[in-house]
Amino acid sequence: MSIPTEHVGSLPRPMKLQQAYAAYDEGKITWTELQAEQDEAAADSIRRLEEVGAPVVNDGEQRESSFATYNLTQTLAGTGLAPNLAPDGQFFAIFDDGHDRQLPRITAGPFRYQTYASEFVEKNVEIAKRPVKQAVISPSMMMLLYPLDGEIPGYSRERFLDDVIDEAEKDIRKCFAAGAVRVSVDFTEGRLANKNDARNPWTGRNMLQDFIDLNNRLFDRFTADERRDIGIHTCPGGDCDSVHSKEVPYELLLEHMFDMNAGYFLIQCASEEDRENVYRLCGKYSRDDADGVPQVCFMGVINPLTPDVETAEQVEQELLAAAKYIPGERLGATDDCGFSPFSSDVKPQHGSPDLARDIAMDKIAARLEGARRASTVLDSRLARA
């Protein structure tokens, strides 16, 4: 038995790249010059992941404004936003340290992606020596671009959602066509949907089931064999070393999340106070047959929000604890979240984003070695059984 292991997506952007994003917003450099900085950071990310032995790699999202807006705008400041999008949408999240992240607002149809994640995959497969994965945004996050109440004249909510699903399907299929072997769908809004934050009105609308239903409309467009390599990632946020919904009881999400017919799940757990309960819940609610595909639980064994590097022994013990509740053939290892999902993030707990990149590699190396050790122990147990 070999416990599969996979990272979520993002790595901290070098300070040089973050400064280039800012310079581009200020008109001091060209798009071509920004792309050159992105490409350099992307190649370095892939090289580092390969050097520590990651079985699947990507560019650490160095070319993306954020995990949630790569498809809509070139930068977090809104440079390159489509003409039918306004910058003053609702907050995606308000984080515990007080900062927030805001989404655009759609003003007219049709809804179309400006950038497909396959553009990153195409570049990455040219330089990677190992298989490439890609993270994409969920339809449920895009759902939040539409006004909560009322409808846009000439562009109904249902027509918008149809467009969202069409674009999300296209995004995933283009990634596979470009050479990706795995595609994970970011679903950090899942836990946040249960927060009911008065400052952020959508969180009080009981939208979790709407999110799940919409995402299943996407998964319904793929066969069981295709969905084996399409995942869902969940976490309580991870930006500027802060979270947005960790106080929300995890079971409120986990008892429903596995209703989505994804083939695998990347599940935040390392930063939970009661990790064993998360393992129990995942074992209880994950399915061995989700419309034809067994659901693999990649448990978070690394906390990207702290500079403290986990040991391989700690990772090994956590995976062995998880194996008490999750069948070995449906157990994997991951990090709690991307290491820096937004392109502007100085990683305040780490000292600098450049130091955070080094720490991220140490953490990933510990995950890989810990998963190898846990696999050996589980193999030994099977041999004695």
Q: Is 213 helix (H, G, I), strand (E, B) or coil?
A: helix
- Rounded Cα distance, 113 and 105, in Å: 14
Q: Please identify which residue in the block is written with the tokens 């695998």.
A: 264
pTM of the model: 0.97
pLDDT at 138: 98
pLDDT at 383: 76
- Rounded Cα distance, 319 and 330, in Å: 12
CA distances in angstroms from 209 to 190, 234, 314, listed in the order given: 9, 15, 35
pLDDT at 283: 98
pLDDT at 380: 85
pLDDT at 1: 64
Task: Please identify every stretch of the chain with a pLDDT value under 50, giving residue numbers as ranges.
Answer: none
Q: Who contacts 381 (Cβ-Cβ below 8 Å, separation ≥6)?
A: none
Q: Who contacts 384 (Cβ-Cβ below 8 Å, separation ≥6)?
A: none
Tell me which DSSP letter residue 249 carries.
-
Instruction: Express each pLDDT in 117-153 by its tens digit.
Output: 999 999 999 999 999 999 999 999 999 999 999 999 9
CA distances in angstroms from 113 to 68, 171, 258, listed in the order given: 12, 9, 27
- Rounded Cα distance, 279 and 190, in Å: 18
Q: How many CA atoms lie within 13 A of 338 on its CB side?
A: 32
pLDDT at 143: 98
Q: Who contacts 308 (Cβ-Cβ below 8 Å, separation ≥6)?
A: none
Domains with residue ranges and CATH for the chain: 15-384 (3.20.20.210)
pLDDT at 381: 83
